[in-house]
Amino acid sequence: MSYHDTLAKLTDRTSAQVLATFAGWQEGKFTDDQFVQLVSAFIASSNGRAVALADLSLAAEISVQLRALEPALGVVSAADDQSRLAKGAATLAAESKAGFDIADRLARFAHAEASAAAANAYADGIARSEKVTGWVRKLDGDPCQLCTWWWREGQVWPKDHKMPHHKGCQCTPTPVTHERTAR
């Protein structure tokens, strides 16, 4: 199973957990505070898994390119994840209480957070690796116009140039361990 497939499974599972929690909250099984804490905990856990997945995938990609085993770099999730995610969940809960349908937004929140955590971890790993000289944007299976423009015909970017991405973006940077990078 590819990195993208595994990440998609992770984000789908997290979205399902968050939506099940939302359904339970609507049925009165959870208090508002419990709902916020559960949603933020599910997403924070997913973010941690996405970061670990990105770190391992990057190590595997570098190993393949170099034809030598490269260890994972030990990239970790952001320290403020739980409180930041709780604020987002609380905002959505308040909107639900005000009568707005938030189910789709909750699912996107769960999905986008893990995708962004993975993308940021991958970029951080590329920047930290002594074996990587740059990266090329790998487009997802159905890239949007913005991602296609960012791709720039497969331009090799310096490793410290962070790959831009947007909410829901499934593109990943592919490390380059050779070739001259653009400046």
Calculate the CA dihedral of residues 92, 143, 161, 79 and round it to 10 degrees. 30
> Structurally, how many domains does the chain consist of?
1
79 falls within a domain: yes
Residue 118 resides in a domain? yes
Q: Residue 19: which domain range?
A: 3-131
Say how far apart CA 176 and CA 94 lie, in whole Å.
45
Position 157 in a domain: no
Q: Is residue 178 part of a domain?
A: no
Mean pLDDT taken over the chain? 93
Which pLDDT band holds residue 169 (cuts at 50, 70, 90)?
A: confident
On whether residue 90 sits in a domain, the answer given is yes
Is 65 among the domain residues? yes
Give the number of other CB atoms < 10 A from CB of residue 40: 22
Between helices 3-26 and 103-128, what is the axis angle to 10°?
150
Residue 73 counted as domain residue:
yes
- 172 pLDDT higher than 90: no
The answer to whether the CB of 23 falls within 8 A of the CB of 38 is no
Residues 70-114 pLDDT 10s: 999 999 987 778 899 999 999 999 999 999 999 999 999 999 999
- Give yes or no for residue 67 having a pLDDT over 90: yes
In which element (H, E) is residue 94 found?
A: helix 81-97
Give the rounded distance of the alpha carbon of 109 from its chain centre. 11
Residue pair 62/70 in contact (Cβ under 8 Å)? The answer is yes
Q: For 4-51, what is each residue's pLDDT tens digit? A: 899 999 999 999 999 999 999 999 999 999 999 999 999 999 999 999
Does residue 146 sit within a domain?
Answer: no
Each residue's pLDDT tens digit, 104-154: 999 999 999 999 999 999 999 999 999 999 999 999 888 999 999 999 999
Bigger pLDDT: 55 vs 166: 55
Long-range CB contact pairs, 68-72, < 8 A, 24+: 70/129, 70/131
